[in-house]
Amino acid sequence: MQTSPIQESTFKAFMEDYNGYSHYLHDALYYDYISGIQEVHLLGLYDDEELVGVSMLSATPVLRRYRLFTSHTGPLIKNFTNERLAFFLGEIDDYVKRNHALKLIHSPYHIYRIRNGEGEVIDSEKNNPQIVDIYTELGYTHQGFTKQLVTEELLRHQAILDITESEDGLIRNMDAKTRYNTRAVEQMDLKLRYLDEDEYDKFVEIYKDTEERIGFDPVSGRKIKSLLKTLKDRTYLTLSYIEVDKYLERLNGELSSLETEKSDMEKKLESGQGTKRMKGRLNETKDLVANKQKRIAKIEEVQKECGNTIELSAAMYYYNNHEMVYLFSGSYPEHSMFMGTNFTTWEMIKKAKELGLPRFNFFGLTGDFTENSKDYGVYKFKKGYNTFIEELPGTFYKVFNKPVYKLAEKLNKI
């Protein structure tokens, strides 16, 4: 194996066909963005004449001569093995040293361990605890097995749903509450539309309100809009909503059918044609009628207060050849009864299947799966879809020139 710098066209051709683990930070669209504002270096890993790996390194100048490098969740390697990774990392180290590196940061998008939906480590051929040793043996410092949402780092735990099964199979595998909610929203006539670029502010407003309410580490609205513009050809920006008059029309139709059924049974019972079983059915139907009437009254009150078209939730999804990723979302808690987030999630799982993708990535979790965790509600929501959890190894860094690095720190240049 050997490495060498590669051209932009070679990198993009590799990414077009690459279907392994890849974060949006390695997307060709992101390269177009970052290369316009930072110095970017592209390296290729070759096995004989075949390009089997790439590394995109962005560099920030420090004290004119030196650079801080980051590897954008890479390197990416086809037919991944630890041997290929170790070799490539060593070559990357040599390359950045020749280019006056002060520090290099890796947050590799590779699996450390697989956990089940309960957060328990399970036996899997994908488990690769040796990956930490590879970095530490090369002199890297591990920032640790963090269990917190730090927006400046690659989140270490992500909930994954295998979507290769049929839609019916996916619904059967959900937990009871998620399955019920998924079926229920199909009866509400909710709608989904994709937001245009001139509606980015609407999305940011919904997301930031939710972020503050739940207590997540803040992501700036400016960063979100920049990311949307950068990845717009690989993203879906959704808004769920309901047209209340159409929902009321459905509810009133269902009420009319129930009332007709109730009336027919009452007539048969009054004429002596009924049975004991029918009496039980009549009582059940009376309860259904009363519940439907209450529901209609509640929805009419919502319509009176909020209008006919009610926006429910918004979300951002990114996809590549490997997966669809649920990046950001927000919702209006006052309209949670319509379950806009459940509706959108199921619609986008189906969209991912249409694109031929094998997995749906619910993305970041803290890794604290106890009821005391601040993201426990988010974890429970994701778990409900029958997800498993991929634990990533975390962040590693190496300082190449410690005296100069300490000086830069002292001068607040880092």
Q: Is it the case that residue 214 has pLDDT exceeding 90?
A: no
Question: Rounded CA gap, 314 and 217, in Å?
Answer: 19
Would you state the torsion angle of the CA atoms of residues 367, 154, 351, 244, taken in this order, to the nearest 10 degrees?
70
Beta strands 359-365 and 324-331, pairing class: parallel
Report the range of poorest mean pLDDT among 161-165, 232-236, 275-279: 275-279
Q: What is the average per-residue pLDDT within 5-16?
A: 97
- 248-292 tens-digit pLDDT: 999 999 999 999 999 999 998 888 887 888 888 999 999 999 999
Amino acid at 128: N
Which of 345, 291, 3, 311 lies closest to 161 in space, CA to CA?
345
Measured CA distances, 69 to 35, 41, 96, 230 (Å): 13, 9, 8, 21
pLDDT at residue number 152:
53
Query: Three-state DSSP class for 165?
Result: coil
Which of 35, 32, 67, 71 lies closest to 53 in space, CA to CA?
71
Given a contact cutoff of 8 angstroms between Cβ atoms, the answer to whether 134 and 89 are in contact is: yes
Q: Is this prediction's pTM over 0.85?
A: yes
Beta strands 66-70 and 101-106, pairing class: parallel
pLDDT at residue number 150:
53
Question: Rounded CA gap, 143 and 395, in Å?
Answer: 6
Q: What is the average per-residue pLDDT within 36-60?
A: 96
Question: Rounded CA gap, 370 and 362, in Å?
Answer: 18
Which of 289, 281, 291, 284 lies closest to 260 in space, CA to CA?
289
pLDDT-derived band at 153, boundaries 50, 70, 90: low
More confident residue, 407 or 159: 159
Distance of CA 129 to the CA centre of its chain: 24
Residues composing the chain: 414
- 95-117 tens-digit pLDDT: 999 999 999 999 999 999 999 99
Report the range of poorest mean pLDDT among 195-204, 212-221, 354-363: 212-221
Q: Where are the alpha helices (DSSP H) in 44-116?
A: 82-98
